[in-house]
Amino acid sequence: MKPLHIRLTTLTLLVLTTALFRILPHWYNFTPVAALALFGAATFERKWLGLVAPLVAMFLSDVVIGFHGNMEAVYISFVVTWLLGLWALRRPTVWKVAAASLTSSLLFFLITNFAVWYGSAYYPQTLAGLMGCYVAGMAFYNGTSFFLNGILGDLFFSGLLFGCYYLLQQRFTVLRPVHA
């Protein structure tokens, strides 16, 4: 098997395996979604596959989990996070991955809560209504912090994906990128 195919297969398996975490019981919003987008952007040599593979994995897990009314906002935030990864993680380091993870958490929160507010009958369509929606989004699901869980999940899964792949690259040199 050619090195590029070995890399692609390994990356795809890591993405699919991580996406399975979405269907296991977990804290609300403690998911690998942003980590998958960042990892795909940073590691796939064919960048479009770094978007498609995680999106397909996400879609397949959504088929199992179920869809909700604001799914387009989730997928939009995923694409925006992937773009962030393309820009910020050309040469990933621990600090760049952590910063991109924290930024992606904030982007996800802002985009998805904006979608909840936009056109809502519950929140007034004013700046005050939008701010009220963001405040309500900070403490979601019986007082657990939806936003904090997102941050912790993004950091955990980014660390897991990038860390595991780094360790695999140290053991199997065929997984190292050509430009390294």
Q: What is the pLDDT of residue 142?
A: 55
Which tops the pLDDT comparison, 39 or 53? 39
Residue 143 counted as domain residue: yes
> Has residue 56 been placed in a domain?
yes
Average the pLDDT over 40-57 and give the result. Answer: 87
Q: Mean of the pLDDT values across residues 2-21?
A: 76
Q: How far apart are CA 22 and CA 100, in angstroms?
A: 21
Helix (H, G, I), strand (E, B) or coil at 63: helix
Q: What is the pTM for the complete model shown?
A: 0.83
- Three-state secondary structure string covering 10-62: HHHHHHHHHHHHHHCCCCCCCCCHHHHHHHHHHHCCCHHHHHHHHHHHHHHHH
Statement: residue 5 has pLDDT above 90: no
Tally the domains of the chain: 1
Domain membership of residue 166 as a residue range: 3-175
Q: What is the pLDDT of residue 180?
A: 47
Give residues with Cβ within 8 angstroms of 152, minimum separation 6: 30
> Do the Cβ atoms of 6 and 175 come closer than 8 Å?
yes
Query: What's the mean pLDDT when you consider all of the chain?
Result: 85
Residue 69: inside a domain, yes or no? yes
Q: Is residue 9 part of a domain?
A: yes
Query: CB under 8 Å to 73, separation ≥6 — which residues?
Result: 111, 112, 114, 115, 116
More confident residue, 148 or 100: 100
Amino acid identity at 120? S
CA proximity to 41, closest of 15, 67, 59: 15
- CATH number for position 24: 1.10.1760
What tens digit of pLDDT does each residue of 31-44 get? 888 898 999 999 88
- The mean pLDDT of 112-130, rounded to a whole number, is 93
Q: Rounded mean pLDDT of 152-159?
A: 93
- What are the residues whose beta carbons fall under 8 Å from the beta carbon of 176, sequence distance 6 or more? 169
114 near 76, Cβ under 8 Å? Answer: no
Task: Confirm whether 180 is domain-assigned.
Answer: no
- Within a domain: residue 167? yes
- Predicted local confidence at residue 132, as pLDDT: 93
d(CA 126, CA 84): 29
Report yes or no on 117 lying in a domain. yes
| Mean pLDDT within 161-174 | 89
- For residues 105 and 127, what is the distance between their CA atoms, to the nearest angstrom? 22
Residue 141 pLDDT exceeds 60: no
Does residue 32 belong to any structural domain of this protein?
yes
